[in-house]
Amino acid sequence: MTSEPNTLNEQPFLFTVEHTDPKSSARAAVLYTDHGPIPTPIFMPVGTVGSVKAVHQHELRNDIDAKIILGNTYHLYLRPGTATLHDAGGLHRFMGWERPILTDSGGFQVFSLAENRKIKEEGCTFKSHIDGSRHTFTPEGVIDIQRQIGSDIMMAFDECPPGESPYNYAKKSMELTHRWMDRCVLRYNETSPLYGHRQALFPIVQGCKYTDLRRASAEHAASKNAYGYAIGGLAVGEPTEVMYQMIEVVNAILPTDRPRYLMGVGTPANILEAIERGVDMFDCVMPTRNGRNGMLFTWQGTVNIKNKKWENCFEPINPNSSALADRVYTYAYLHHLIKSEELLGLQIASIHNLAFYLDLVRTARQHIVDGDFSTWKASIVDRLMKRI
């Protein structure tokens, strides 16, 4: 098995930067895939197992207007399994979703198993969280799994160390990620898509909170001549300002004519700060997970819908929202549903939060186009963090 430096043989999609903010690194672009164009900045709802929790595909498509969603290699590999996905013709057909899909490599999930996995040069052996069965992920195997899933954008297999890892551990982990990255690129080059649409591979930049490691990792990733790049290992315990600093370090090195994806981040304020620093793509479970726990994100700040103050508030949740649920249902009704533990409450709250996140990045994009993103962002970011 070689770990010689190598590059990707093709650039499967176009990425066109249309506008840049005059006072920051924010940019408005379009990422073109075989399943449709994706205007950026973009937020990707997390559909871990082929389903965005509590949200129907019809609502994702027509109410929220999600341009792309995310699936997870680890979870889809375990259930329903690659054989089922292959027989179905890939994840798009299996779940009835005709727009783009991005898949994480499963690295974060595998390494979060802690006591139930073992990392070696060849790959990572782990126990399934479902039934305890043993499995091994290798860089080559993860590419093969994502070929079977049929995602439009695939991630290279990486090790995601804890945010507060000691320097020596972070360095060894990064070097292993680089060797695995090389193997992923080789496997990508020697295999082909299975379902008639093209797939892109994104290397993942690691390096924890250490500037020199982040630079080295960004340089190694950039040498792959990839269609796009992911920034991993942030929002995993390090201070917020350190996260922003690492984004700046990495984006100073990654090519400006390729999309940049910040993995697993984050709050509305995090997203705006990262857009200002040149990030194009985001995903996070926060909108749906927090929604299911009664927290709503709004332009005025965050709402805990469980609080008694909303019991008799008969205003629509958001009369200007693209989501029908926001325009029809009131704070009082959602308060009642969440307090009563009704499933409909989880659905309405999840739809609201996803609609807000998509509205946030669409609005940010428009301000980049208009040339006043930095001024607008400065006027709104503190308000977004308030608790109402």
Indicate which residues carry an active-site annotation. Answer: 104, 283
Cβ-contact 65, 99 below 8 angstroms: no
* Exposed/middle/buried for residue 316 (C-beta within 10 Å: 0-12, 13-18, 19+): middle
DSSP conformation letters of 115-164: GGEEE-SS-EEEE-TTT--EEEE-HHHHHHHHHHHT-SEEE-------TT
Q: Which of 3, 69, 355, 117 is nearest to 125 (CA)?
A: 117
Q: What span, in angstroms and rounded, lies between the C-alpha atoms of 373 and 26? A: 8
Cβ-contact 322, 60 below 8 angstroms: no
What are the tokens at 52?
């965005």
What are the tokens at 331?
């704070």
For the chain, the first-to-last Cα distance in angstroms comes to 56
Strand order in the sheet with 27-33: 15-20, 27-33, 36-40
Q: What span, in angstroms and rounded, lies between the C-alpha atoms of 88 and 76? A: 13
Q: What span, in angstroms and rounded, lies between the C-alpha atoms of 22 and 134? A: 52
Q: What span, in angstroms and rounded, lies between the C-alpha atoms of 281 and 271? A: 9
Q: What is the 3-state secondary structure (H, E, C) of 199-239?
A: CEEECEECCCCCHHHHHHHHHHHHCCCCCCEEECCCCCCCC
CA dihedral 254, 260, 266, 271 (to 10 degrees): 90
Helix (H), strand (E) counts: the chain: 15, 17
